[in-house]
Amino acid sequence: MFKYILIPCVFILPMKSFADIQLGDSNSPFKVYGVFDYGVNYSHSGVVSSHDFQSGMDYASRLGLKLNLKLNDDIAIVGNAESWIDLRKMEFVRDETFARGEFIGVSSKKYGTLLYGRQMLNASGVYEELFATAFAPSTLSYQAYDLGTGAPTFDFRSSRAITYTTPNFKNTTLTFLYTPNQMVGDASKVLDAKNYAAMAVYDDGTNRISASYNELISNYSVDYNGVVYNEIKTKDYRVFALKRLNKKLSVIGTANYLKPNSPDAVSAQIYGTMINFEQPKYNLKAALYHRQVDKQDLSAMIYAVGANYHINKHLDAYIRAEYIDNNGKAKYTMNNILLEGPGDDPSTYGIGLKFMF
């Protein structure tokens, strides 16, 4: 019932009224925020050429509530409840009211931050991704479907997760995560997995370098040639480096290694590079990724470009384009585009508006 009340109310109020919403006065520990992103998408492959309205091509459409209740000069109770909204269907994604975030915790500059609930993945490069999910080449680095029977893969968030982030020491922080089941809502079986993770981040204002390790362990059994296998693992190693050349230009490099231990396991390597150019009135960005699967002769090049024009501080107009070049055996796709078969090369394009408050 809540979703049928919340979403229509968003469009009854004048858009300008969202610009400075807070609950209570300016000292309130609560803050409401949101993004409404909507546009037109065109997709093409060997079996489909289609266009449709789409939500969240630049930034996932969302409504959220942040909590920051200061107990003293150092310690605060922090929390977040964030809904992921499909504006085209006018419903919450996966029928989860707070699919994108639902956590509570304690934060301290002296002692660190401890959180529990649905949170971001603890993987290098997640926070720095330049493209939304539909147009993000890095999404192919989070899946292990092609690496062996029953190999678990990442969901877009970690549910029921407990994380601890250390205080900043010489521009460096460490974060540790555990969840008994990362799956969000009604999702596929291979997302039902435990996750143990650790990540280190160094950021001095000019350089940002991070490394992470995740170990996904399936919560389900699979039958392979008459033998039942339990708790199949996928080990995920990542490194990320960002260089701020100046206030306008940043370049990024990433490397990722996925290794499951399923009975017919193979490994994958993913390498990526991105560039981001920011001006007061516009932003240009591009990304190039390569995915290679050992022993399977599966490889693909993924290209993505985008541009945003900042109409004002609350409103952007944007364009997006992405293309995947599969080799003869590969059938990677994005944005849920159907493929004719191995070797088919999908592409997708989008234009839209993004309102932020």
The pLDDT tens digits for 61-80 are: 999 999 999 999 999 999 99
Residue 12: the pLDDT is: 36
Contact status, residue 192 vs residue 152, Cβ threshold 8 Å: yes
Residue 114 maps to a domain: yes
Residue 154 maps to a domain: yes
In the chain, the percentage of residues whose pLDDT exceeds 90 is 89
**Using CA atoms in the order 222, 224, 226, 231, what is the torsion angle rounded to 10 degrees?**
-40
Gap between the Cα atoms of 279 and 275, Å rounded: 13
Segment 235-257 shows an average pLDDT of 98
Residue 86 maps to a domain: no
Residue 292 pLDDT greater than 80, yes or no: yes
Residue 28 pLDDT greater than 60, yes or no: yes
Distances (CA, A) of 303 to 131, 184, 274, 343, 344: 12, 28, 10, 16, 15
Contact status, residue 113 vs residue 83, Cβ threshold 8 Å: no
Q: What's the gap between Cα 135 and its chain centre?
A: 11
Residue 25: the pLDDT is: 57
Work out the pLDDT band at 101, boundaries 50, 70, 90: very high
Segment 232-249 shows an average pLDDT of 97
Give residue-wise pLDDT tens across range 37-51: 999 999 999 999 999
Mean pLDDT of the chain: 92
**Cβ partners under 8 Å of residue 255, min gap 6:** 238, 239, 269, 270, 271, 272
Residue 13 maps to a domain: no
Residues in the chain: 357
Say how many Å lie between the first and final Cα of the chain, rounded.
25
Gap between the Cα atoms of 132 and 319, Å rounded: 12
Work out the pLDDT band at 294, boundaries 50, 70, 90: confident
Residue 242 pLDDT greater than 90, yes or no: yes
CATH number of 336's domain? 2.40.160.10
Residue 1 pLDDT greater than 90, yes or no: no
Residue 26: the pLDDT is: 67
Segment 207-216 shows an average pLDDT of 98
Residue 8 pLDDT greater than 60, yes or no: no
Gap between the Cα atoms of 284 and 241, Å rounded: 19
Residue 24 pLDDT greater than 50, yes or no: no
Residue 80 maps to a domain: no
Residue 144 maps to a domain: yes
Residue 240 maps to a domain: yes
**Using CA atoms in the order 124, 161, 195, 203, what is the torsion angle rounded to 10 degrees?**
20
Residue 4 pLDDT greater than 60, yes or no: no
User: Max alpha carbon distance in the chain (Å)?
Assistant: 64
Q: Which helix (H) or strand (E) holds 43?
A: strand 30-44
Gap between the Cα atoms of 25 and 347, Å rounded: 48
Residue 16 pLDDT greater than 80, yes or no: no
Residue 64 maps to a domain: no
Segment 174-184 shows an average pLDDT of 97
Segment 139-163 shows an average pLDDT of 95
Segment 261-283 shows an average pLDDT of 97
Q: How many domains does the chain have?
A: 1
Gap between the Cα atoms of 217 and 232, Å rounded: 6
Residue 27: the pLDDT is: 81
Residue 295: the pLDDT is: 87
| 256: containing domain | 39-53+110-356
Residue 286 pLDDT greater than 70, yes or no: yes
Residue 18 pLDDT greater than 80, yes or no: no
Q: Which helix (H) or strand (E) holds 285?
A: strand 282-293
